[in-house]
Amino acid sequence: MDAVTAMYVAQGIHGLCYGMILFLVASGLTLIFGMMGILNLAHASFFMLSAYFSYTVLKVTGNFWLALLVAPVAAALLGVLLERYLLRRVHAFGHIGELILTVGVALVILEGVKVFWGTENLPLPVPEFLQGLVNIGGMDYPVYRIFIIGLSFSILVILALILYKTRLGMVVRAAVSDADMVNALGVNVPLVFMFVFGAGTWMAGVAGVAIAPILTVFPGLADQMGMDAFIVVVTGGFGSLGGAFLVSIIFGFLSSYGVQFVSTLAPVLMFIFMAIVLVIKPIGLFGERE
């Protein structure tokens, strides 16, 4: 294989890796939106919080698997608490109150993180057994990125199986399309909301732990990922999982090949893509409602 193809493939792996991470964050966001009609602006803050948790767990125990297990669950627990004790109470005041509430939570988490962990970049080592390169078909790939792709892909498959093959998934999908009716049928919808909120923050948390060794952990993490995830949700169509997946992968490739070919334009490529989609279809690629 010649050098040019190798470069394309290597950038493709980078793009796919980032796209999958993006999807982990955006899928939770879009699910929560579909059920409650609000975009949780603190969603990326839980992503960042989980990365910080994993830093602390790694520092104390040195076990990557433990960090991957504990940190997202801790973030998800906080997410459930946010839903149960804050969001649910202001639900009666309409969407604007809920949206602004999540802004307040995002601010508190951002500043709280600075108080507890400081403002500097905290480096996280790639776990030893995932270091180095693996040779597939005459090409060297970094093992850790392959691991991230595999991890995200398995979560994606599990998510799809739960959503489309179980009774719980059926209830969730029904609640996405009409929460009131499902509630009237005797399903405890607030409990389902809480579960979905927790699952969404858990996925964001997994993404946070997975990306921490690549990007290092710093307070700007939420801003960076949050904005990309919002654009994914807006472009893919509010509440559409398939749209979120497709757009995440497109954005992953856009960012990796964009840096390669038009490096000055790279940061705005996603915005341009979003603007084009929205001008043609204001509710997003696969959006069914506003």
Partner 1 sequence: MMNSMTKWILWAVLLGMLVIYPRIFGIYYTNVFVTFAIFALFAVSLNLLLGYTGLLSFGHAMFFGTGAYGTALALEHIEGMPLLSAVLIGFFAAVILALILCPIMVRVSVTAFAMLHLAFGQLMFVLALKLRAITGGEDGIGGFPIPPFSIPGIVSIDMTDPSNFYYFAIAVLGVSIWILWFFTKTPFGSIMVGVRDNANRVDYMGFKVPQTKAIIYMFAGGFAGVAGAIYALFQNLIAAGDGFHIIVSFAPIMMTMVGGIGNFFGPVAGAAIFGIIEELTSRYTERVELVMGLILILVIMYAPMGFLGFIQIIKNRWFEKVAAKANTEEAL
Residues in contact with partner 1 by the rule CB under 8 A: 33, 37-39, 41, 86, 89-90, 93, 95-97, 99-101, 103-108, 110-112, 114-115, 223, 227, 230-231, 233-234, 238, 264, 267-268, 271, 274, 278-279, 282-283, 290
| Nearer Cβ to partner 1 (87/209) | 87
| Nearer Cβ to partner 1 (3/115) | 115
Using an 8 Å Cβ cutoff, are 110 and 220 in contact? Answer: no
Smallest gap from residue 106 Cβ to partner 1 (A): 8
| Nearer Cβ to partner 1 (3/92) | 92
Smallest gap from residue 178 Cβ to partner 1 (A): 17
| Nearer Cβ to partner 1 (127/226) | 226
Using an 8 Å Cβ cutoff, are 208 and 224 in contact? Answer: no
| Nearer Cβ to partner 1 (155/270) | 270
| Nearer Cβ to partner 1 (155/204) | 204
Smallest gap from residue 237 Cβ to partner 1 (A): 10
| Nearer Cβ to partner 1 (124/277) | 277
What are the tokens at 273? Answer: 């893509």
Smallest gap from residue 46 Cβ to partner 1 (A): 15
Smallest gap from residue 274 Cβ to partner 1 (A): 6
Element (H, E) at 269: helix 266-280
Smallest gap from residue 286 Cβ to partner 1 (A): 14
| Nearer Cβ to partner 1 (47/144) | 47
Smallest gap from residue 14 Cβ to partner 1 (A): 21
Smallest gap from residue 210 Cβ to partner 1 (A): 24
| Contacts of 216 by beta carbon, 8 Å cutoff, 6+ apart | 121, 122, 123, 124
